[in-house]
Chains A and B, each alone.
Chain A
């Protein structure tokens, strides 16, 4: 077993030990939003496609649910999660090529990525509802 002999050994400090900083926040947000996208996001995508492929009645029942206030909150939440994960994912591409590790640069983009994600989600919904 991978953990044999390690049961009573001290664990490395986790999120509740360290002082919070932007890099830590964007890192855990990337994991949280990725998990939301993989579960709720893909679930709703399949629901949408299944309803569409099942005919007008099934699509109407999906659309009616999507138009309720709680449906809108869920869809907006998924949109925020998708755009936020995309923004912090692009940050990972930059870090992957070895750039952006200077303390100031890293801090700035750690703060900006979630905000860019929220801004993109708001822009998308504004265009969808009002354009």
Chain B
């Protein structure tokens, strides 16, 4: 292993060992997104109206509440993986690290907020 060019420093090390997991989870969550976004789209089309009462009654039911909670998990996870690749492609060094830390914080905060909203609606707090 040399210490000159970037190829020289990584030659002989083999694969990164963890990339396949990222790639696979991106696909698993993509399947989840397909099913759950289709559920959301069809549900919105089948609602009697898009007013507060109609939407609230729909989303408070056990099946829609569970589906939208899963939608939050699946889409945020998928977005987290996709934006990570985006950041790694376009940012280097300290900026990359800062962006990845910010990404993790924002994604977890957003998903937590979404899940809390569903729980509140499903358990009748709102």
The smallest beta-carbon distance between A94 and chain B, in angstroms, is 12
The smallest beta-carbon distance between B108 and chain A, in angstroms, is 13
Which of B41, B110, B117 contacts A124 (CB under 8 A)?
Answer: B41
**Knowing A49-B117, A50-B117, A89-B30 touch, does A34 contact B82 (C-beta < 8 A)?**
yes
**Knowing A2-B92, A3-B93 touch, does A52 contact B34 (C-beta < 8 A)?**
no
Interface membership of A13, Cβ < 8 A: no
Which chain B residues in 102-124 approach chain A with CB under 8 Å?
110, 113-114, 116-118, 120-121
B interface with A by C-beta (< 8 Å): 4-6, 27, 30, 33-34, 37, 41, 44-45, 50-52, 55-56, 59, 68, 72, 75-76, 79, 82-83, 86, 92-93, 110, 113-114, 116-118, 120-121, 125-126
- For A52, list chain B residues within 8 Å (CB): 52, 55-56, 59, 117, 121, 126
Q: How many residues belonging to A are interface residues under a CB distance threshold of 8 Å? A: 35
- For B93, list chain A residues within 8 Å (CB): 1-3
